[in-house]
Structure 1
Amino acid sequence: MDFLIRKAVNEDAVAVSRVVISALRESNAQDYSPEIVDRVEQSFSPVAIRHLLTLRQVYVATIDNRVVATASLDRDVVRSVFVDPAYQGGGIGKQLMTAIQSCAVNEGVKLLRVPSSITAEGFYSSLGFKKVRDEFHEAERTIIMEKSLGQ
């Protein structure tokens, strides 16, 4: 499967929103209640995505010019890593994380953190991230993980 990883642009906002919401409803819904999924979904409208583009370094993976995954870097924190369920398990998420880590290293980040969903904990562990602690936002459990990027 050939895919391209690039920086996201404003025109990607609708497609990024679609990927995130699809992943939330199909993948994360296995580990979180419908109420939590609905609440998280509110943060990923196209308007919200356009705003995030001004705050973070957002990347997308595309296949035939179609956005199928996204991830972003907010200083030393990985955020919003989502892969369209139809493409999960094919290495796209891993390649996005490679791009994010490379960007972080180029910016001098020594310790990369990620607030992981229950759903993605195994994925991040497979990339060398270690669990630091659990955080709860009402009933929503987030696993704080980190990875040293020191040479």
Structure 2
Amino acid sequence: MDPLIRAATHDDASAISRVVVAALHESNAQDYSPAIIEQVAQGFSPAAILHLLIQRRVFVATINQCVIATASIDKDVVRSVFVDPPHQRLGIGKMLMATLQSVAITGGVQRLRVPSSITAESFYASLGFERIRDEFHGAERTVIMEKRLS
């Protein structure tokens, strides 16, 4: 069954938190220390997700009404793209990114940026994003990437 992409609601906060934390622990743990994973995971509690729903446009991918992925956009910046580990590498992240890109183009955005994890750098590169620079938040390395929109 194909996933449905829709705007996230407050009722999705716990499910989004679960997806993000699972992806951090399973996928990002190969590139980041346990301390960094825990620090980042704290920022994605259900309460933190509720706050993000106010600040950004947050989307979810669902199958049978179950949240399996999430992504958000804040003006010209892609944020928090996570796919539940059992559903990774099935094109769901690309579907979410296509949705965000459409939102950005409709909003008149010329360049879309993403602060990528080391883990996701090749994913974004496959979508046409180019590496601009590295940023460090303490020991956490983030790769700033950008894509020109037509």
Provide the rounded CA distance (Å) in 2 between the counterparts of 1:7 and 1:117. Answer: 23
Residue 131 of structure 2 corresponds to 131
Residue ranges of structure 1 left out of the alignment (5+ in a row): none
1:138 shift after superposition:
1.1
Provide the rounded CA distance (Å) in 2 between the counterparts of 1:99 and 1:50. Answer: 21
Residue 46 of structure 2 corresponds to 46
Provide the rounded CA distance (Å) in 1 between the counterparts of 2:43 and 2:139. Answer: 17
TM-score by length of 1: 0.98
- What are the Cα deviations for residues 10-54 of structure 1, in whole angstroms up to 9, with x where unaligned? 000000000000000000000000000000001000000001000
Residue 17 of structure 1 corresponds to 17
Q: What is the Cα-based RMSD across aligned positions, in Å?
A: 0.5
1:2 shift after superposition:
1.1
- Write the mapping of 1:49-68 to structure 2, written as runs, cut at 5 A: 49-68=49-68
SS at match of 1:44: coil
Report sequence identity in percent.
66
- Write the mapping of 1:64-143 to structure 2, written as runs, cut at 5 A: 64-143=64-143
Stretches (4+) displaced over 2 A: none
- What are the Cα deviations for residues 69-103 of structure 1, in whole angstroms up to 9, with x where unaligned? 00000000000000000000000000000000000
TM-score by length of 2: 0.99
The aligned length equals 150
SS at match of 2:14: helix
